Amino acid sequence: MKTNIRKSQRGFSLLELMIASVIGVLVMAAMTSLFRQAMTALFTVSQRAETQENMRAAIELMTKDIGSAGAGLPSGGLQLANKNGVSNIACNQNATCYLIADVYPDSGTGALNYMYGILPGFAKGVENGAVITNAPGATNDSITSIYCDYNFPLTNFTFAFPSAVQANVTVVNGGVTPNNILAPGGLNVGDLLLFIVSTPGNGAGNQGNAVGQTAAAVGEITGIPNNGQIEFAAADPLNFNQTGANSLAALAAADVAGTTLSACRLYAVTYFLEVPAAGGTVQVPRLMRQVNGLKAIPVADNIINLQFSYDVINSATGTINANVANPIAAGLSPALIQKVNIWVLGESIYTDKTRSQSMYLATSVSARNMSFCNSYSFSSTACQ
């Protein structure tokens, strides 16, 4: 008989096991490091993409409003009534003014309450002057863009003033839309209405007035009792409904037989930053958009710096002063603003402990109506 003899098999030695374990640990550590780096890169890309998307949405909205600045306004702007003090910017119907002492400026000739298509708000960019701790040392600005709203035209309505504080509204053609001032997207308490009374000309040439005379005034709606009446009571939050020259009361008196009265709703849109009140969670700054005398609404979160500069025609030299941060203080007319330069600094919405991303997004936009006026009246006073 054959007997199978088993040969003993040699195992791993302790040294071999230790070397293999060390190599395995090194491989696992390398894989873990690569995985963490990949996750960090993915998180960083996500942060930057979210921040960029947030800022782009904000800039696109600002570009739309600034690009429309001056549309429908008289050339060079409009003198408002100022018998009872200055008119306010960015106040709502609860008499809350978001920006400290932000009012309609001097025209440059000593007349207060002048409405331009663009109102720079240098160093007035944060509600109630709050401090944004994560922002750099740069100044925060606000900006107000003013233009006629052509999405809800008022050409289908006629207006008559039985008193200085009330307008009666009549529909011209009930079959035409809109035929109701309270229709969706229609007028609201707090809206601004621009009224222009035109006197027909009496001919052309040196002996006649081909264009005629015009008078313009702006009023803030304080009540809409029904579809056929609009009220403009005094002591309105924006302080537009004053008396004296350039007031709605003076325009109502000028609206007589032989004149033409036209109207449009003005959009006075102000952009600024807000730091919400503490409420148990981390409060992050956000970009706000406020229209006329209505409540401000948030546009984009985690915007920590907002700056504007302006390319303005210098009427004295006939040249353009570029990147002027505060045109009014520099003695330049906002009516001659050629281009608005915008800088927005956003911080990532999503954070990982203390890690966050911040980045600037910059663009420039020309106000079409103002640029056209400036281009063809470069050294004249027609647009001032």
Contact of 201 with 179, CB cutoff 8 Å? no
**What percent of the chain has pLDDT above 70?**
83
How would residue 13 be classed by pLDDT, with cut points 50, 70 and 90?
confident
Q: What is the pLDDT of residue 208?
A: 36
Q: What is the pLDDT of residue 5?
A: 57
Distances (CA, A) of 112 to 81, 109, 128, 156, 384: 9, 9, 23, 34, 15
Residues 286 and 301: their CA atoms lie apart, in Å, by 4
Q: What is the pLDDT of residue 279?
A: 58
∠ at Cα 105 (275, 59), nearest 5°?
45
Q: What is the pLDDT of residue 379?
A: 41
Q: What is the pLDDT of residue 274?
A: 93
Is the Cα torsion angle 215, 216, 221, 224 positive or negative in sign? positive
Q: What is the pLDDT of residue 119?
A: 96
Read off the tokens for 57. 């949405």
Rounded average pLDDT over 209-214: 56
Rounded average pLDDT over 223-240: 93
For 242-281, the pLDDT digits (tens) are 999 999 989 988 888 778 889 999 999 999 999 887 655 5
Looking only at the bridges linking them, the beta strands covering 260-274 and 286-291 are: antiparallel
* Structure-token match 């969670």, residue found: 281
Query: For residue 353, is pLDDT > 70?
Result: no
Contact of 287 with 271, CB cutoff 8 Å? yes
What is the three-class DSSP state of 324? strand
For 285-297, the pLDDT digits (tens) are 899 999 999 999 9
**Residue of 211, 212, 198 lying closest to 256 (CA atoms):** 198
Query: For residue 210, is pLDDT > 50?
Result: no
Q: Where are the domains of the chain?
A: 75-376
**Residue of 121, 120, 117 lying closest to 146 (CA atoms):** 117
Rounded average pLDDT over 359-381: 68
Read off the tokens for 99. 């920006």
**Residue of 139, 133, 126 lying closest to 274 (CA atoms):** 126
Residues 300 and 54: their CA atoms lie apart, in Å, by 6
Following CA atoms 371, 269, 59, 360 in sequence, which dihedral angle do they give, to the nearest 10 degrees? 100
Residues 42 and 53: their CA atoms lie apart, in Å, by 16
Q: What is the pLDDT of residue 259?
A: 83
For 71-95, the pLDDT digits (tens) are 999 888 999 999 989 999 999 999 8
What is the three-class DSSP state of 16? helix
**What percent of the chain has pLDDT above 90?**
49
Q: What is the pLDDT of residue 10?
A: 67
b/e sequence 106-122, b meaning 16+ C-beta within 10 Å: ebeeeeebbbbbbbbbb
Contact of 255 with 104, CB cutoff 8 Å? no
Query: For residue 232, is pLDDT > 50?
Result: yes
For 23-72, the pLDDT digits (tens) are 888 888 888 877 777 666 655 666 666 767 788 888 999 999 999 999 99
Any bridge partners for residue 170, and if so which?
158
Residues 294 and 123: their CA atoms lie apart, in Å, by 23
Is the Cα torsion angle 271, 272, 273, 275 positive or negative in sign? negative
Q: What is the pLDDT of residue 288?
A: 96
Q: What is the pLDDT of residue 216?
A: 92
**Residue 241 or 133, more confident:** 241
Q: What is the pLDDT of residue 47?
A: 62
Residues 143 and 102: their CA atoms lie apart, in Å, by 10
Rounded average pLDDT over 161-176: 89
Read off the tokens for 169. 């509204």
Query: For residue 384, is pLDDT > 60?
Result: no
Read off the tokens for 356. 């966050």
Q: What is the pLDDT of residue 381?
A: 45
Q: What is the pTM of this model?
A: 0.83
Distances (CA, A) of 68 to 62, 262, 288: 10, 20, 19
* Structure-token match 């550590």, residue found: 29
Tell me which amino acid residue 23 is: I
Contact of 144 with 270, CB cutoff 8 Å? yes
Distances (CA, A) of 13 to 6, 23, 24, 25: 21, 16, 17, 18
